[in-house]
Each structure stands twice: as structure tokens, then as C-alpha cells.
Amino acid sequence: MSSLIELKNITKIYRVGDENTAALKGIDLTIEKGEFTAIMGPSGSGKSTLMHILGLLDKPSSGQYLLEGVDVSRLSAGRQAAIRNQKIGFVFQQFNLLARTTVLDNVLLPTIYGKAEKSISRARQIIEEVGLSDRIRHKSNQLSGGQIQRVAIARALIMEPSLILADEPTGNLDTRKSEEIMQLFRDINARGVTIILITHEESVAKNADRIIRLIDGEIVSQEENAA
Ligand code: ADP
Ligand code: MG
């Protein structure tokens, strides 16, 4: 059986004016179905670039990306969008919630037939799982930071993805809130969803099965976490 993800010699070069920045310099990485992986590294080391490529939000400059054995880096933008919608859930700062929009409607956003009974009952169930049933009619500007991250996680789950990508999901939270969010990720992972998460904090990374460290566009270490 093939791995969920195989990256082979992935590079990403950004060109701004006459300047070239090699953000990724030949990444080889395999991630199995059901794994929980943390990516760490200093600012500018290429973490977000790697996540964008994994999420099919950006194309590598060279190299191969196999997702469930299929080379997805060469598919059309339309096919990539379809795969993204079906298989990948995002908890990214830049996909913030719609303000002045309810928790329920934010969670329904990725669904194509958002108002169908089936979608609504599924959304209610997920909102309950993330502990926000009592806030379902609240608008996102009426929620705390931790609650906002819970809504973002619920929205990432609505399409029942096999992979969740999270970029600094605990970045703006205090220790207790951050531990609650990590418990939620562990519960989701325990149901078989693969998780890849970027963090600056060792205490957050400890929740993962494996920690991958990036420096200057290269993987410098991969450690299994002791259970
Ligand atoms: P990290 O998430 O680890 O902080 P990034 O992946 O955001 O790092 O950035 C890696 C490098 O690529 C940095 O040097 C950054 O300045 C550069 N970079 C990121 N995105 C772009 C872009 N859209 N255009 C040009 N350069 C970029
Ligand atoms: Mg980043």
C-alpha cells in the first residue's frame, strides 16, 4: 500500500524582481496514513511554503508530490481544487473566519450544498464535537481566540478530509487553551485523520508522533516522539 504523502526532491524558488529565493531546496518526505507530524523551524525556513505545496495551494518549482500514489503536482488547477476540497482540511491564519457570520455558516462554508439538511446536521455534530454547541448562533467577532480556532477546526472537518494541515493553530493562545486545542487534534487523529501541524513551541510539537525540523529550506532532522 502506498503512503499518504511522498515528496521527492521538492524545490520552490520564489522570484521577486531580480531576486531569487530558494524557499525549499530538495525536500524528501514520506507521511503515512494516520500519522500526526509536527513541522518546526525558524522563521523563514520554508514551513509555510511546504504547507502550501502539501495543500495544493501552490506548485513546486521542481520535484514530485504523490498523494495516495497519484502525482498531483502536475494536475490542472481544477483537478487540484477538487482534490483539495475533498481530501484536505486547512487551519491556516490566512483563511480566517468570515466576520459577522455565524459559527454554523462558517463551518458550512466548504460544502457545496451548504443549506442541505444533511450538511446542516453534520455541521451541528462537528460543532458539538469541538465543544461549541452553545455558540452555534454566535458570530465570529463574538468569540474568543480559542473558540475561533475551534470553529476553524470544525470547518476543516466538515468535508471529512483524510488530511488536516494546520499552520500555527495555537499561535495566539495561552497555555491552557493551547492544550485544549491540541487535545482536539489528538482526538481527530485518533479517528484516523492524518495531521501535519506547524508550530514554534516544543510543548505543542510533543503531541505529534514525529517532529520534522526545517532550516533554510532543508529538512535537518526527523525524530520519532516517545509515546
Ligand atoms: P516560514 O513559514 O518557515 O516562516 P516561509 O515558507 O513563509 O517560511 O518563507 C520561506 C522563504 O521564502 C522566506 O525567505 C520568505 O521570505 C520567502 N517567501 C515566502 N513566500 C514568498 C512569496 N510569495 N514571494 C517571495 N518570497 C517568498
Ligand atoms: Mg510561516
Q: Which residue, judged by its Cα, is nearest atom 21 of ligand 1?
A: 14
Ligand 1 atom nearest the C-alpha of 45 is 3
Spatial contact of 31 and 3, defined as CB atoms under 8 Å apart: yes
Residues having CB closer than 6 A to ligand 1 are 14, 16, 21, 23, 41, 43-49
* Whole-number pLDDT of residue 1: 64
Q: pLDDT tens digits for the chain (227 residues)?
A: 679 999 999 999 999 999 999 999 999 999 999 999 999 999 999 999 999 999 999 999 999 999 999 999 889 999 999 999 999 999 987 777 888 899 999 999 988 765 678 889 999 999 999 999 999 999 999 999 899 999 999 999 999 999 999 999 998 889 999 999 999 999 999 999 999 999 999 999 999 999 999 999 999 999 998 76
Cell numbers placing 162: 483524510
Q: What is the DSSP string of 171-202?
A: TT--HHHHHHHHHHHHHHHHTT-EEEEE-S-H
* Whole-number pLDDT of residue 225: 87
**Cα–Cα distance between 212 and 88 in angstroms, integer?**
20
Q: Which residue, judged by its Cα, is nearest atom 20 of ligand 1?
A: 49
* Whole-number pLDDT of residue 15: 94
Ligand with smallest separation from the Cα of 46:
1
Ligand with smallest separation from the Cα of 41:
1
Q: Which residue, judged by its Cα, is nearest atom 1 of ligand 1?
A: 44
Q: What is the DSSP string of 88-150?
A: EEEE-TTSPPPTTSBHHHHHHTT-TTTTSHHHHHHHHHHHHHTT-GGGTTSBGGGS-HHHHHH
Alpha-carbon distances of 30 from 10, 102, 124, 189, rounded to whole Å: 12, 38, 35, 17
Helix H or strand E segment including 86 = helix 77-87
The DSSP secondary-structure symbol of 225 reads: P
Pocket test for ligand 1, best of 49, 53, 59, 199 (most atoms within 8 A of CB): 49
**Cα–Cα distance between 106 and 104 in angstroms, integer?**
6
* Whole-number pLDDT of residue 114: 59
DSSP, collapsed to helix, strand or coil, labels residue 213 as: strand
- Identify residues whose C-beta is under 5 A from ligand 2, the ion: 47-48
Cell numbers placing 165: 494541515
* Whole-number pLDDT of residue 5: 98
The alpha carbon of 45 and the centre of ligand 2 are apart by a number of angstroms equal to: 8
Ligand with smallest separation from the Cα of 23:
1
Q: Which residue, judged by its Cα, is nearest atom 17 of ligand 1?
A: 23
